[in-house]
Amino acid sequence: MLRLKELTSGYGSVPIVRDLNLEINEGEITVILGRNGVGKTTLMKTIIGVLPVIKGLIAFREKDVTTLSASSRARFGMGYVPQGRGIFPRLTVEENLMMGHFINIESSRERLYEKVYSMFPRLDERRRQKGGTLSGGEQQMLAIGRAIVGNPDMLILDEPSEGVQPSIVQELVPLLTGLNHDLGLTILVVEQNLDFAMSLANRCYIMDRGTIVAELDKSEMTDSERIRRYLAI
């Protein structure tokens, strides 16, 4: 579904992500774990096209998208939930969800408004309410719902547990695994919440200093102490 080869990116001429290689298989849930400041958000912004590639390749659905714009990648099937949620506070819940209509617009797939409302009954109850008046957890639901509306091929989430109360974080695990099973949705999550990542992922990459330093499968992810040692690099 997604392949990064010797990817280098950053801000201006300053590289943050360096010679990074990884592959995300179709239909799996993959988590990239790493401490603050190791380049995780820079990597996400590069994958979705907000930051340019300095060197290397981004292939999505076997197509070279390295030079495509963020809007082109969204139309091609990338759904993105940014760090901090990034909803439109002055728009209603319904209007925010409409922004997701343009994800995967080049396909003939149906838009999943009713699916989103069934997944998040609180959003259904608040269709006419302004996004900025929702709680942090509800805003995270809205941000995820906005990406799901477009019926993407791949859902990319940047630290979805950040700033969300623990009870809502626990709700995200069955929600995301359900989307993975029901829609066959490929999911990539960047996180530093180890427990959340271990509950969710089929496979895990550890990131440090702008590159991947380890890859762990599901069986290896049960060794939390080993992962903590990686994160303490």
Position 93 scores a pLDDT of: 96
In a domain, 137, yes or no: yes
pLDDT tens column, 108-167: 678 899 999 998 999 999 999 999 999 888 898 899 999 999 889 999 999 888 777 777
Whether 177 is covered by a domain: the verdict is yes
Predicted confidence at residue 15, as pLDDT, reads 93
Q: In this predicted structure, what is the pLDDT of residue 83?
A: 79
Q: pLDDT tens across 170-196, in order?
A: 888 888 999 899 888 999 999 888 888
Tell whether 233 is covered by a domain: no
Residue 78's pLDDT is 92
Query: What is the count of structural domains for the chain?
Result: 1
In a domain, 232, yes or no: no
94 within domain boundaries: yes
The number of helix segments (H) and strand segments (E) in the chain equals 9, 10
Identify whether 231 is part of a domain.
Answer: no
pLDDT tens string 3-60: 999 999 999 888 999 999 999 999 999 999 988 889 999 999 999 999 999 999 999 9
pTM of the model: 0.89
Residue 233: the pLDDT is: 57
Q: Is residue 108 part of a domain?
A: yes
* 229 part of a folded domain: no
Domain with 141 in it: what CATH number?
A: 3.40.50.300
Question: Which long-range contacts does 173-178 make (Cβ < 8 Å, 24+ apart)?
Answer: 173/199, 173/200, 175/119, 175/144, 176/29, 176/200, 177/29, 178/119
pLDDT in tens, 74-89: 988 999 998 777 889 9
Domain range for 78 is: 2-224
Give the pLDDT score at 220: 80
Measured CA to CA, the distance from residue 12 to residue 18 in angstroms comes to 14
